[in-house]
Chains A and B, each alone.
Chain A
């Protein structure tokens, strides 16, 4: 008789060791520090499109100053990719997808060109997509497509600067069932405020009275004229309003297994990137009602005095995501005293 419980407890131990390693699947190093060619984000504007609509794709790329080679781009898309481990490769050919749709493959192309931006058109009628998303089709295809809030398709970008190449993906939704479209989040100013504590020595949970608010902060100018002081800790704020966490509905089931539109609200998270210094967190999140907006829109940053920073300039990148594929970003540069 096999030891059933031992097997499960071993799994718990593995998860615990994984977490103790501090990686939680992310690996060591400082991902928020920009020191090499990076693709930080891909935006689809808009992030979900209905039949006969199109979306414009662009990427936020960081290239170090010493890398002056021109980048080459190659965009493509695919309705179904593998789940990871094999390079997120496309699982169907154009002909196969056309067959699933019941259309002619001649008008279907996964190639989106080699310009810095690309355009994807939603040319598929609702009935075809509804058919793809049916359980019977899942059986025929051998896998479940992601049809929550529209058919999820994957856009792929490969960039190359002759020394290095990076492949990045981004998902967007092809709407077919009346689900309202998503919008990319927007935000106002970037602000900053000198902190009373030193990064690394701050209390992890400051009391409400001590926590500064965005209203007290100054605007960090977008023209690069702002200046900050080395070895001082600053609160950084991204002025984002709560309504950017959009309310939406999706098709779901009630307690009686009846199909209904279920109300929900987007989660937001901000990825913070820097070219020098250290951040309190690489990511901040807003997950209503479990967390507050204040947990999202602020971070702490410091440039240690002993850190080598040629050029005495620091750049910040703020990338805002919502939980339905929407993304926006902004960037600031400051001089250091």
Chain B
């Protein structure tokens, strides 16, 4: 081992934690005893510096607590930066132990400046040939279960000689977890590795003459709780209401089966939507909220409308959810935005997981590609078709069913990342999804053969090129392309047979123009091609109106062959006129070739730090979205429709209630205009009299208040309570009265809790209480004797309500930790009390009786997941 002469220099400093909380000098306690270094740790001399015979000083700032332990270490400066001296000094100083400082009789924490000097011994400086030291004990310390290299750990070895003397050495592990000891005398050496937060490693190894001993040690964490992660940097909050969920949080929420998209349902302002319809956000219809992947649209979120999301968690990093007032980066929605972000791959070695549960099996693997790249691959497949295949074939033999393909889904993803050069990064993502089931009733030669089938497959590719030459400039170019094939047949009642193509290109620039001004600007281009045949019943009464009262309305066919383009330009400034105030004015421009219109959308949001830990936030903005292609089609809709519009207002506050408790309260108001509603009118179009079908005469208003109280993970507990009060109303014409919206849910209460038990057990619960959806009561009937059925007479629209919804979900996890992998058994039970939560009203044939129907029963999922 190299002999070092280190000269510590101790300087005293005051314990000022925050410039804003300056304490007057005469209020500071008088230090009566200085802190004294009692355990010094020798730093590893940087190899390159040693080779070049370089010496240096590193000035550190140490926070020493009242027990004498090091709370924090910061490098202030180094006389020779970039050669490893700073890292070596930092690592060593982290393990210093002091006798604490005193102010009178009381031990007090202090902040001191410490200069760590690296000085070579004379023999090292001498140019004479020196004896080469033999590195005869090499080792590596990895974290048990994850195989993560443990850097900066103190490794102590000692040997008691025959004469009773104890020889001891210490060193720190490097970034890759490796350590080296030189010239150890042969024999047994005791090894001790005892970092905080881990079970200690106490073992021994044998050193032999002229041999090198190589060992790997696996050190086990006291807890493998996902929340024991260190947040390296807090995301800067600048939006009025953006909630970002980390994937680690998401995977444990009960009742969601670890599905990213489902967790969003537990956030404030998100109401329950009927099966498969997405999210009802702040009283807006499900189709008014866009669900995006890296800011780009994807055709479907779930397999078969509700089962599992099409992108497994392994590929994802976060979910950004905006219930309203979203920035100019986004457009084409009047509700909210759910933007799922892909992870930045940074695997240190080959790693991944495999998951096996009742529904499906999935696997995910990621690996580095050299020093500058990484690759991840994922795949998931259901096996309902295998499990129920036998039962289904039995059904087929009993009924006149000629062929069956039982339901099955699969999805696959590839994510690649490569750093072309400093500041130039490339990311490529490809996603494929395939859903299918099919039943044919009757023989092939039967003219009345009926088909019930659902075949939906799509792929999406996304290419992103990032140019980040400095911290003040970033440009991101994203190109997304994909195709969807849909072939859905429901007997003679419904059919979609089509191909849908889409390309989107977006370039976004972020540039810090001045110290207090940052510019974000970009351009957005979209191209869509819709080539499809749609055969479906004529559109019903539309939102808010009762369903069609015809028993079997003849389906209407529509052949759509439509190409359309759109262009968007957006810009926003982040301005900090004073330290505690952030203003974000923005403007968006959109041109739609399909609607042949242009629109400008101004938006503004602000955040103001009223006090420490108290933020006032607000915003207002203009938003719009195109009608659906069915509403605007010539055969089934009205091609002259315009865009729907909304103005959002929000005002709220965020503050810290207590240590670990944060509270977010936001009031919101939305004005809706130009809404698409059904019409019975007859109009003249191109010289012909045609039914209008739809018109832009609808409007509405939504208002409410939402609260979110979060308890950060501490004392083994994590959870949140969200409550929303909201009222959502619509009218179908300017002269009509406002009525409740179909998805109005006045009260939404969600309570989530998660508790970490000993021995790697974890338990979580979720409880929800939600107002029932509005219903339109039936107040009478008329017998249509021509068609032999009863036509209901409806009362005022949405003046009734379903019973409230409440449900309790439970999740239990147990982990086993092995050297190179971990195994997690989980049980996720949705609706553990098996409560029947009605989603609709069923009537008798003459509407004289009614009963509630719908709602999922108790739904347990058990699964095993192995991470390596």
Contact = CB atoms under 8 A, between A and B. Distances in A.
B785 A40 contact: yes
A188 B767 CA distance: 66
B275 A166 contact: no
B845 A19 contact: no
B626 A15 contact: no
A11 B543 CA distance: 12
Interface string A319-337: 1010001010000000000
Most buried by A among B486, B537, B689: B689
Interface in A1-53: 1-17, 19, 21, 23-31, 39-42
Contact of B845 (A1, A28, A141): A28
Contacts, number: 194
Interface string B533-566: 0101100010001101111100000000000001
B141 interface: no
A26 B300 contact: no
Given A28-B845, A168-B782, A1 B490 contact: no
Contacts of B494: 11-12, 15
Given A2-B287, A4-B628, A12-B496, A83 B843 contact: no
Interface residues of B, number: 86
B780 A87 contact: yes
A8 B534 contact: yes
Contact of A10 (B277, B290, B545, B683): B277
A169 B783 contact: yes
A166 B486 CA distance: 46
Given A27-B847, A139-B689, A290-B448, A3 B297 contact: yes
Interface stretch (B181-189, B250-258, B614-622, B791-799): B791-799
Contacts of A17: 275
B792 A85 contact: yes
Interface in B663-687: 680-684
B846 A27 contact: yes
Given A5-B299, A290-B448, A13 B793 contact: no
A83 B789 contact: no
A261 B517 CA distance: 75
A3 to B, nearest CB: 6
Most buried by A among B298, B784, B788: B788
B552 A87 contact: no
Contact of B551 (A4, A26, A138, A139): A26
Contacts of B683: 139
Given A9-B486, A85-B792, A169-B784, A2 B625 contact: yes
B783 A2 contact: no
Contacts of A142: 680-682
A139 B682 CA distance: 6
A25 B843 CA distance: 10
Nearest to B335: A2
B488 A12 contact: yes
A41 B629 contact: no
A84 interface: yes
Contacts of B551: 24-26
A5 B630 CA distance: 9
Interface residues on A, range: 35 or more
Contacts of B417: none
Contacts of B276: 9-10, 13
B844 A27 contact: yes
A317 to B, nearest CB: 12
Contacts of B300: 3, 5-6, 9
B219 interface: no
A15 B300 CA distance: 19
Contact of A4 (B452, B536, B629): B629
A221 B491 CA distance: 41
Contact of B549 (A10, A14, A85, A205): A85
Contacts of B788: 31, 271, 283, 319, 321
Nearest to A87: B793
B713 interface: no
Given A3-B297, A9-B300, A13-B305, A27 B488 contact: no
Contact of A5 (B486, B526, B684): B486
A11 B276 CA distance: 10
A23 B785 contact: no
Nearest to A156: B782
B569 to A, nearest CB: 15
Contacts of B630: 4, 7-8
Nearest to B302: A6
B305 A25 contact: no
A15 B496 CA distance: 13
Given A5-B484, A9-B496, A88 B791 contact: yes
Contacts of B490: 12, 15-16, 19
Nearest to B850: A27
Interface in B647-668: none
Contacts of A327: 785-786
Contact of B500 (A5, A11, A139): A5
A204 interface: yes
A83 B493 CA distance: 20
Contact of B786 (A27, A135, A141, A325): A325
Given A1-B332, A41-B785, A23 B842 contact: yes
A28 B847 CA distance: 9
B793 A2 contact: no
A143 B496 CA distance: 29
B275 A87 contact: no
Interface string B365-402: 00000000000000000000000000000000001100
Contact of A11 (B448, B536, B550): B536
A297 interface: no
A87 B493 contact: no
Contact of A84 (B486, B549, B552): B549
Contact of A27 (B333, B491, B845): B845
Interface in A121-153: 135-136, 138-139, 141-144
Given A7-B628, A85-B546, 13 more contacts: A5-B484, A7-B630, A9-B276, A10-B277, A19-B490, A25-B789, A27-B843, A84-B791, A85-B792, A142-B682, A143-B682, A144-B689, A167-B781
8 residue pairs, one from A and one from B, having the closest CB atoms: A84-B549, A168-B783, A135-B689, A27-B845, A29-B844, A87-B793, A1-B332, A31-B845
29 contacts: A1-B332, A2-B288, A2-B333, A2-B628, A6-B300, A7-B287, A8-B496, A9-B496, A10-B276, A10-B278, A10-B286, A11-B494, A15-B490, A15-B494, A19-B490, A25-B552, A26-B789, A27-B843, A27-B846, A28-B843, A84-B792, A88-B791, A138-B689, A139-B682, A141-B682, A142-B682, A168-B782, A168-B783, A169-B784
Interface of B: 274-278, 286-288, 290-291, 297-301, 305, 331-333, 399-400, 447-448, 452, 454, 456, 484, 486, 488, 490-491, 493-494, 496, 500, 504, 526, 530, 534, 536-537, 541, 545-546, 548-552, 566, 625-626, 628-630, 680-684, 688-689, 691, 780-786, 788-794, 842-847, 849, 851, 853
